[in-house]
Structure 1
Amino acid sequence: MNPSFYISIRYFFYKKKTNLVNIIVFLSILSIGVSTFSLSTILFVFSGLENLNKKFYQIHYPDITISYSNEKDFFIDDNVIKIIKSIRGIIAVSKTMEKKVFFHYNNHEYFIPLKGVDIEYEKVMKKFKKINLKNNRFDSLNIYVGWYSLGSYFPMLSHVINMNMPLQMFIIDSNQNKTNTLVSFFMKKKVSVRGFFHFSPKMDRKYLFCDLYDLQNTMKKKVFHTLEIKIHENVNMYNMKHLLVKKLGSKFNIITRVEKEGVFYKVLNTEKIFIYFLFILMTLITGFNLFSAIFILQLDKIKELFVLWSMGFSLYRIKMIFFYMGLMITTFGCLIGFFFSYILSFIQEKYKIFKIAKKIPFPVKITLKDSCMVICMILIIGSIISFFSLRRIRNMIFYSK
């Protein structure tokens, strides 16, 4: 074993001559532990938010969406759709169209997005389920109402469902005039509720759904807005996007679910950088305790150091004794702080004790990346502080003669 390392272990674990030295070393370990605990816990929370956002986008958005780059409405030949479906890794392809609709009922006005989908939509969005209550009415547009939206639109919908009478709806559409500008107008249509759909609380309240072909007949346009694609879990989205670009060309706008999440990740990464910067400053401030502890340990062991130097122990080896002690203080503080952070995060991740507004569990996720980042950062800062605390040893030994 390295003599310097062996001596540093004895100095660290054996009781010091003065009780004040023990207190200072303990406070140094405690301060580093608090810094490690705070940083690792916050990073685990950020990873939990990132994971929560990923699950949210997986539920609410398709893996890949295709639309025209310059136009809102477009039509793709069925042969092209067959080519897309034949690509290995694609599970389902759904045509969708979205329109803003307007209802007026008992002095209340409702503006709701209406989404027309085909039979493939339930394969693309696994959480989407339809429940049929009655058969189609051929004289009106048959819509599906979100299960969680019943409270929001209940007076209007109860009238439609119970009285079995169609409701007047206005569809907002737009056309290009001679000057190539878009002109909006309203299309009047009777609607009846055919059944309910269940997607998620957010989507149930946001949308009404209908059959795509019914909406196309109403609009008198055999077009749609987007192709929504579900791919296999093991398939890389970016590779699939590049393959689709090669197959379809540049006239189509192809966006992956990850790209839709891009803005959130940019904000999250910016906040993470700020957190790193803040806690580096915090660790440097608590590092003064480590600097003081090493300096006090040097004063406490000055006679032993002089004896070692007199016996031929080099100045470099003497310095390494206290460098190793600084590393041990840092390592113990780091491990203790990380241990408590891990325990707290594990309990929260499993039992959901802490909640936001008494409903939503505080998101936490323990990741190897965050763990390694915290440990490396604390150890590097501790090593730098320990190194700079060795400068006075030479003078201390010579003045102790």
Structure 2
Amino acid sequence: MNLPFYIARRYLFSKKSHNAINIISMVCVCGVVVATIAVVCALSVYNGFNDLVAGMFSSFDPELKISPRTGKVFDPTTAEFQKVKQLPDIAWFGEVLQDNALVRYHDRQDIAVIKGVDENFSHLTLIDSILIDGSFILKDEVADYATLGVGLSAKLGAKPGFASPLEIYVPKRDEKVNLSNPASSFNQEYAYIGGVFLINQQVYDEGYMILPISLVRQLLKYDKEVSSIELKLADGVDISSAKKQIKVLLGDRFIVQDRYEQQEASFKMMQVEKWMTFLILSFILAIALFNVVGSLSMLMIEKKDDVRTLQNMGADDKLVRRIFLFEGWMISGFGAVIGIVIGLVLCLLQQHFGFIKLGQTAGAFVIDAYPVRVVFTDLLVAFITVAAIGLMAAWYPIHYLGKKWFS
């Protein structure tokens, strides 16, 4: 066995002549344990919320989205897109034409994003799972239908089954506004209300309306142009490899985004919050670990006679310093391991049983209990952080006080 490690282990667990040293060492370990538990649980909860938000967006966003790098619309019938459409990795290929419009119902009106989609939209997303009223329908033999976000539906006072259609207005492209008759500067179409969806995301619930793409083309006066192409991959296909393959076919004129990139701002904000919380907890961890300075200093004073004996037996200063360096590492290491294990157990219990609730009233939030997902890299980061801060905390008493007492 490594001699410095063996002696350090004996020093850590053996009874000291002054009981206060044992108490300080245990308090130091407990401080590291508590801080490590906090780091593991906090990072896991952020992972859980990240998955929750991703699941909400997945009900409306496609797996892959192709949009032009410059301009608003493009032609989806070119040879490049035909090659993309024929890729074996692509299960569903949907055309989308999207723009802003004024939506009016009786005496109420609001600005909304009209998203024109084709019949493949129900296969590209989980639209049926987020409907809270009506059904998802684009058109029938006599009329076009709109599916509204719940917030937009409330603003307009419109629900499925109402007899009157929505009035949709879009400014005419490439035409100046006729000040004497402003109404003539708008294209107008009608759509009945087919359904209402709820995603629990304000940007969609309060501002989006799904329409048949043919109706949106009539409003915007386009023949075959689209603003984006939405794709669903076949089962088992790796998203990153499929995205690279599509980028090669389309070149630099188009942007290919997965779900995380489509909502990049939201997910980046969550990641910033996650790691800022980790940074704050790391400062608390550093304070707990700097108790190692006091613990090692007192231990070095108590073991001064032992060190003299080792030096008389031929031990050099390097071996003596390694003994107390191992002592500091074991204090932080044991605390880190115990904290990670306890934190992991708490996270798994919360994941399966949901002991800690988001609120006292059931149904007040999207979910009742805090979501949790443990990621191995987070555990590794927590352990490395504790080890690194523990090393810095042990460095001072060993390399500065040690020179004074043992040289």
Task: Check the 8 A contact 2:138/2:211 in 1, yes or no.
Answer: no
- Does 1:372 find its partner at 2:380? yes
Return the alpha-carbon distance in structure 1 between the equivalents of residues 284 and 290 of structure 2: 10
Q: Which of these two proteins has the greater Rg computed from alpha carbons?
A: 1
Return the alpha-carbon distance in structure 2 between the equivalents of residues 239 and 142 of structure 1: 38
Q: After the TM superposition, which residues 344-363 of structure 1 pair with which residues of structure 2 at under 5 Å, given as runs? A: 344-357=346-359, 359=365, 360=367, 361-363=369-371
Return the alpha-carbon distance in structure 2 between the equivalents of residues 34 and 312 of structure 1: 41
Return the alpha-carbon distance in structure 1 between the equivalents of residues 105 and 123 of structure 2: 34
Shift in Å, 1:330: 1.2
Task: Check the 8 A contact 1:197/1:204 in 2, yes or no.
Answer: no
Counterpart in 2 of 1:256? Answer: 258
DSSP-derived class of the 2:398 partner: coil
Counterpart in 2 of 1:323? Answer: 325
Return the alpha-carbon distance in structure 2 between the equivalents of residues 111 and 345 of structure 1: 43
Counterpart in 2 of 1:136? Answer: 140
Counterpart in 2 of 1:296? Answer: 298
Deviations 1:25-84, CA, capped at 9 Å, x for gaps: 111112222222222222222322333333333332112223344443444328665432
1:104 partner letter: Y
Q: Which moved more, 1:326-335 or 1:58-67?
A: 58-67
Q: After the TM superposition, which residues 181-196 of structure 1 pair with which residues of structure 2 at under 5 Å, given as runs? A: 185-193=185-193, 195-196=194-195
DSSP-derived class of the 2:93 partner: strand
Q: Using a 3 Å threshold, how does the CA distance of structure 1 residues 65 and 300 change in structure 2: closer, same or farther?
A: same
Q: After the TM superposition, which residues 2-401 of structure 1 pair with which residues of structure 2 at under 5 Å, given as runs? A: 2-77=2-77, 81-99=81-99, 100-105=101-106, 107-128=107-128, 131=135, 136=140, 138=142, 141-146=143-148, 152=154, 155-157=157-159, 161=161, 165-167=163-165, 169-177=167-175, 185-193=185-193, 195-196=194-195, 200=199, 202=201, 203=204, 206-217=207-218, 221-223=222-224, 224-232=226-234, 234-357=236-359, 359=365, 360=367, 361-391=369-399, 392-397=401-406
Q: Using a 3 Å threshold, how does the CA distance of structure 1 residues 301 and 252 change in structure 2: closer, same or farther?
A: closer
1:338 partner letter: I
Shift in Å, 1:375: 0.5
**How many aligned positions are there?**
387
DSSP-derived class of the 2:144 partner: strand
DSSP-derived class of the 1:87 partner: coil
Return the alpha-carbon distance in structure 2 between the equivalents of residues 395 and 252 of structure 1: 67
Return the alpha-carbon distance in structure 1 between the equivalents of residues 139 and 256 of structure 2: 37
TM-score, normalising length: structure 1: 0.82
1:387 partner letter: W
Return the alpha-carbon distance in structure 2 between the equivalents of residues 207 and 166 of structure 1: 20
Return the alpha-carbon distance in structure 2 between the equivalents of residues 326 and 301 of structure 1: 15
TM-score, normalising length: structure 2: 0.81
Shift in Å, 1:367: 0.8
1:5 partner letter: F
Return the alpha-carbon distance in structure 2 between the equivalents of residues 27 and 397 of structure 1: 26
4+ aligned runs moved over 6 Å, structure 1? 132-135
Task: Check the 8 A contact 2:127/2:136 in 1, yes or no.
Answer: no
